[in-house]
Amino acid sequence: PVDFSGTWNLTSSDNFEGYMLALGIDFATRKIAKILKPQKVIEQEGNSFSIQTTSTFRSYFVQFKIGEEFEEDNKGLDHRKCKSIVTWDNDKLVCVQTGDKKNRGWTHWIEGDQLYLELRCEDQVCTQVYKRA
């Protein structure tokens, strides 16, 4: 079974700008956010996850259990509340974030020592790659 636990550092990010625009993130925040190199600290215990995304500017914390819907506040991002649910698709973690924005969600998977994150909102897809610290 896959274990996402660990500390991961961003190495590349494609179309984060488009994703942030789709979320309606303001200009000033986008300019700062796109030069950040966030770090993710993931704790996985059975079906329970916590994911801390940390940067010098702002951070975001989320925790969930597989298959259990939760209220997500997206505090520090776009602040829109979502009903979110994360499930397994084989070895991929797939989150659907139901709210005002269509087609919102993300997928996490691991290839070798790299963690991939695909962020989706409306017609925008951002792909980020993280390397194990």
Q: Which residues bind ligand RET (CB under 6 A)?
A: 20, 25, 29, 33, 36, 38, 51, 53, 55, 57-58, 60, 62, 76-77, 106, 108, 119
Closest to ligand RET by CB, 101 vs 106, is 106
Is 103:114 a contact under the CB 8 Å cutoff? no
Closest separation in Å from C-beta 8 to ligand RET: 10
Closest to ligand RET by CB, 20 vs 110, is 20
Closest residue (Cβ) to ligand RET? Answer: 33
Q: How far apart are CA 104 and CA 13, in angstroms?
A: 18
Closest separation in Å from C-beta 10 to ligand RET: 9
Closest separation in Å from C-beta 97 to ligand RET: 9
Measured between alpha carbons, how far is residue 70 from residues 64, 67, 74 in Å?
A: 7, 9, 12
Closest separation in Å from C-beta 61 to ligand RET: 9
Q: How far apart are CA 19 and CA 23, in angstroms?
A: 6
Closest to ligand RET by CB, 79 vs 113, is 79
